[in-house]
Amino acid sequence: MKKLQKHVVKYGVYGTRKFLAKYPRVKNAVKRIAHTQLGIPTISDQIYAKWVQNSFPDFIEIAKLRQQLPKLKLQPLISIVVPTYNTNIVFLRDCIDSVLGQVYENWELCIVDDCSTDNRVRKVIEEYAKNDRRVNAKFLSSNKHIAGATNEAIKLASGEFIGLLDHDDLLWPNALFEVVKAINKYPKADFIYTDEDKITEDRYQHLGPFFKPDWNPDFLLSVNYITHFSVVRKTLINKIGGLRAEYNGAQDWDLFFRITSATPNIYHIPKILYSWRIHDLSTAKTTQAKPYVVEAQRRAISSGLKGRGYEDVLIRQDHKNQGYWEVQFELKNKPLVSIVIPSKNQYKIVKRCIDSIYNKSTYENFEIILVDTGSTEKRVLSLYKKLENKHSNFHLIDWPERPFSYSRSCNKGAESANGEVLIMLNNDTEVITPNWIELLAGDALRKEIGAVGCLLFYPDKHHIQHAGVGVGLGGVAANSFSMMTLNQLMNQTQHLMINTKHNMTAVTAACLAIRKQVFNEVGGFDDAFSVTYNDVDLCLRLLERGYINLYTPYVRLLHYESVSLGAPDEIMKRDTKEFKSAQELFKKKWSKYIKHDPNLNPNLDKTNAFYEVKF
C-alpha cells in the first residue's frame, strides 16, 4: 500500500496506467487514496470543478443580484457568528473577506476569540473591526471551547437571524442574498440550511459537493447532514438555550436536533452557498482529527431521539462507514408480522424466496400469506402442501385472476393478514440480512413512518437494484443507484444516500414494510396501477397523509427483478397500452413530485439514477 501511495503522489490519479496495467485490481484503491488521503481530484471532482466555474457568481451575476435587492420586501439583519481559536491567519482572512464580499449587505459579523495563544489572531480581528463597523469582536480571557465561544458570539448579535460560520470556511458571495430571498418567500421560516462543498487549503480547489435533500428527519439521525450553511431565527435559538458545552465536538448536531424539534418551519435552499475547508485539523477531513467527536455524536443522537419521544433505541456507529450512525428502534412485544407474497408457478423462484425466509430469519413471530394467482405447475402445488404441513404460519390464498394485478393480489393478501405489520415481498427475492424482519418492522411501527424499503441487489450480489425510488428520475420514477456497486468510487452525495438510513419519497414494493392500519387507511394499492408504479403511488399517498417513508441500507435482499413477470420493457412488449396508460396516469396524478421530489436535490441529473451533478 505504501508503494501504491508513493506512486499516486508522484504520478497522480490518471497518470498510473503502467502501474494499473500491472496491478489492475488496485484501480479503485488508487482513486480512493488520491481522493481521501492525498487531496488529488478524481474525475468526479474534475467534473464538479467545471460545474463550479459555471455556478460560482462572477461579477456580472453579482451585479444582477444587487439589482434585485430593492425587490426584497423583508431585509432582516443577519448576524454571522464566528468563534475563533488559533486560526490559521490566511484561513481567517479568507473567512472574514467572504462575509465582507456578500451581495446582501445588511449583516453584522460577531467574532469571539476563545483565548487564542497566537497573538496574530487578535491583531487580524481588531484590524477588520476597526475598518468595518459591522464587525463586532470580543476576546475571552479564558477558554470556553466552541459551544461557549459561539454562545458568547450569539450574545453580541442584534440580528433577527443568526448564521453559523466556522472560522476557516467560506461563504459564497450570494449566500446571504439567497437566505433573505428564502425568508421573503417563506416569512415563517425559522431554520434555513443550504447545500455545501469542500475546498482544500487552496481555496480555489472545490471538491466533495453535497447536494442535500429537503428536511429529512431520519437522515439527521444517521449523520449531521445539515452542517453548513445554517441560519436560525434568534428568538428560537434563545428559546432552546443556545449551544450546550457538554456536546462539544457535536455541538451543532445537538443544536439542529433541538431546533428541528422546536419548529416545523424548516427550509432548504438547494444551492451550494458554503465551502468547508479541508485541512489536517478539520472534521471536514476526518473525525479522527478530533477523537472526542465520536462520543459527543452518540450523545447528541441519543438526546435528539429523546426529544422526539424515543427512549429504547440502539445507537451504534456504522463499522464500515466512519462517521455514519445506525439507529435501531426496538421491536416491543414481538408483534405478528405478515409477509405477503403474490406468486404464480415458477417453482425454483418461489421456493428460493420462502426457504430464505424460514432458513435465515431470526424473528419468529411472522406468518407468510402466499397469494397464488393461478399456478398450474404440479411441483409448485406440491410445494405449497409441504409448506402448509411443515409450517403452521404458512397460509395459502387461492386467487386466480387474469390479467394479473400486483395491486389486487397484495390487497387480497393484506385483507387476510393477521399481523400488525405487513411486509409486501416479491417472490423473486432472497433474504440476505438475518434480522431483516425486526429491522423493517421496528421502523414501520413508528407513528410517523409510512412505508419502509431496503437495499436490494441484483443476483450477482454486487450491483444495486434499489436504494429507494427517485420520483422524476427518467421522467417518471426509477430505482435510485440501480447498477452501481458499493465498492466503486462515489461522490459524497452518492455515498451518503446509499449507505445511510434516511427518508425517501418512495420505495419499491419488492420489499416494503407498512403497518396494516396505515395500509388500510390509504386504501392499499390502487388497481389503476395494476403492474407498474403501484408502490410509488402508495408511497406518495402516504406522504400526502402526513407520513414519511424510509430507506434503510441495513436490510439487504437479492432481487431477481421481475423474473416471473418480466422486466418493465418486457411488460411493455406484452401490453404496451397498459404500461403507457399507467405511466400517463402517474404523470398526471403526481406531476408536482415529478417536478420536485423533496428528497431529490434539483441540482442532480434526473436523466439517470446515479445522483450525478447536472450541467
CATH code, 255 = 3.90.550.10
Per-residue pLDDT, 165: 98
Closest CA to 436 of 329, 313, 314, 556: 556
Contacts of 392 (CB under 8 A, 6+ apart): none
Cα separation, 284 vs 36, in Å, equals 11
What's the gap between Cα 566 and its chain centre?
31
For residue range 81-124, what is the model confidence (pLDDT) as tens digits? 999 999 999 999 999 999 999 999 999 999 999 999 999 999 99
509 contacts 474 by C-beta, under 8 angstroms? no
pLDDT above 50 (res 566):
no
Per the domain annotation, does 420 fall within a domain? yes
* DSSP letter string, 173-205: TTHHHHHHHHHHH-TT--EEEEEEEEE-SSTT-
Task: Say which residue, 293 or 36, is predicted with more confidence.
Answer: 293
Same domain flag for 83 and 29: no
Within this chain, do residues 153 and 216 fall inside the same structural domain, yes or no? yes
Nine-digit cell string for 88: 490559521
Domain range for 10? 2-40
What pLDDT is attached to residue 34?
44
Same domain, 276 and 361: no
Share of the chain above pLDDT 70, in %: 89
Q: What is the pLDDT of residue 43?
A: 63
Are residues 267 and 149 part of one domain? yes
Q: Distance between CA atoms of 342 and 599, rounded to whole angstroms?
A: 30
Query: Within its chain, how far is the Cα of 123 from the centroid?
Result: 42
Residue 25 pLDDT: 45
d(CA 244, CA 418): 47
- What is the C-alpha end-to-end distance of the chain, expressed in Å? 36
Structural domain contains residue 555 = yes
Q: How far apart are CA 243 and CA 255, in angstroms?
A: 6
Out of 263, 283, 303, a domain closes at: 283
Span of 16-25, 114-123, 506-515, 525-534 with lowest mean pLDDT? 16-25
Using a pLDDT cut of 90, give the percent of the chain over it: 82
Q: Which of 58, 54, 1 is nearest to 32 (CA)?
A: 1
Residue 295 inside a domain? The answer is: no
Angle between helices 119-131 and 89-100 (to 10 degrees): 20
Of 58-67, 224-233, 290-299, 539-548, least confident by mean pLDDT is 290-299
Residues 476, 545 within the same domain: yes
**Grid cell in block for residue 257:** 436536533
Both 63 and 28 in one domain: the answer is: no
Domain assignment present for residue 313? The answer is no
Domain final residue pick, 246, 261, 283: 283
In terms of residues, how long is the chain?
Answer: 615
Rounded to the nearest angstrom, the gap between the alpha carbon of residue 487 and the centroid of all alpha carbons in its chain is 18
Looking at the fold, whether 75 and 31 belong to one and the same domain comes out as no
Q: What is the pLDDT of residues 396-427, one digit of tens each?
A: 999 997 788 999 999 999 999 999 999 999 99
Q: What residue spans of 223-291 are helical by DSSP H?
A: 234-239, 251-262
**613: β partners:** 604
Which residues, including other chains, have CB under 8 Å from residue 60's CB and lie 6 or more apart? none
Is residue 152 within 8 A of residue 144, CB to CB? The reply is yes
Q: Is residue 51 part of a domain?
A: no
What is the per-residue pLDDT across 41-97, written as a single tens digit (0 to 9) for each? 566 778 899 999 999 999 999 999 999 999 999 999 999 999 999 999 999 999 999
CB 454 within 8 A of CB 444: no
The pLDDT score that the predictor gives to residue 568 is: 47
State how far the Cα of 468 lies from the Cα of 282, in Å rounded to an integer.
32
- Is residue 141 in some structural domain? yes
300 part of a folded domain: no
pLDDT digits (tens, 9 = 90+) for 471-485: 999 999 999 999 999
CA quadruple 109, 114, 115, 118: dihedral sign = negative
> What average pLDDT does the segment 267-284 reach?
84
Per-residue pLDDT tens digits for 186-210: 999 999 999 999 999 989 999 999 9
Reference 263, options 286, 284, 287, 239; nearest CA is 239
Structural domain includes residue 291: no
User: Residue 460, Cβ neighbours under 10 Å: how many?
Assistant: 8
What's the pLDDT score for residue 579?
82
Residue 350 and residue 465 share a domain? yes
Give the DSSP per-residue string, 3-15. Answer: HHHHHHHHH-TTS
Whether residues 457 and 498 share a domain: the answer is: yes
CB 134 within 8 A of CB 108: yes
Number of domains in the chain: 3
Q: What is the rounded average pLDDT for all residues in the chain?
A: 91
Instruction: From residue 453, give the alpha-carbon distance in Å to each of 511, 512, 554.
Output: 6, 5, 10
Q: Is residue 9 domain-shared with residue 92, that is, in the same domain? A: no
Phi, psi of 344 (to 5 degrees): -155, 120
- pLDDT higher than 70, residue 146: yes
**Is 459 in the same domain as 362?**
yes
The contacts of residue 298 (CB under 8 Å, 6+ apart) are: 315, 317, 325
- The whole-number pLDDT of residue 12 equals 40
Q: Are residues 8 and 109 in the same domain?
A: no
What is the spatial distance between Cα 63 and Cα 119, in angstroms, rounded to a whole number?
Answer: 38
